[in-house]
Amino acid sequence: MQAHVHTLETQTHHATEAWRSNREQAYSEIYAHCAKGLGLSVAEKSLTERIAPSLDASHEPVIEQLRGILQQHCGDESTVLSPDVEKLVSCLMNYFLQVQAILSLACENQQHINSLMGRAEPEQAFDAADIDIHNLLQARETRKIPYLPDELQEVFGIRIAITQESIEIKGLKPLSC
């Protein structure tokens, strides 16, 4: 994973805080123009507000499951939770929840487009893995940032499935300490 961190820090539009902020501003402007084109009002909430992670009590089972997996894999044999595990749980949940918010917004906008175009709703739900298609189509390994759930699968032996309604974690193989 360290090689991916190096790529992120040196070869992407998110390598510095200034670049990340610039990308966020560009995406916000694109969102505003798209919303205007769809006849929607964006004055209610900015893109940043719309895709902000939102944790609630319904996420507690996923948090506990993730905490257990990470503690088993990264913690020591004591029953005391590692602060590093807690940080990692927090970071991963933040990512999962933001992906859910992005999926929700994308699906909402796609419904508006389908309505305007007179198209039927898609038969298959849009999920987080579908977002990664952008990276797969780039096909330039040097600038490609891997899909985080794929990396988690490789490192921890778990499959993470994220839709706008759910976050599911499935163990693929027993973890050994």
pLDDT at residue 176, as a whole number: 47
Which helix (H) or strand (E) segment holds residue 115: the answer is: helix 83-117
Per-residue pLDDT of the chain (177 residues; tens, 9 = 90+): 777 777 777 777 667 788 888 888 999 999 888 888 878 776 677 888 889 999 999 999 999 999 988 888 876 666 667 888 899 999 999 999 999 999 999 998 888 889 889 999 888 888 998 988 877 777 665 556 778 898 899 888 999 999 999 999 998 655 444
Measure Cα distances from 94 to 5, 52, 112, 152 in Å.
18, 9, 27, 15
pTM exceeding the 0.85 threshold for the entire prediction:
no
DSSP letter for each residue of 149-173 = HHHHHHHHSEEEEEBSS-EEEEE-S
**Residue pair 84/148 in contact by the 8 Å Cβ criterion:** no
pLDDT at residue 72, as a whole number: 84
pLDDT at residue 159, as a whole number: 93
pLDDT at residue 94, as a whole number: 96
Domain extents for the chain? 1-50, 52-177
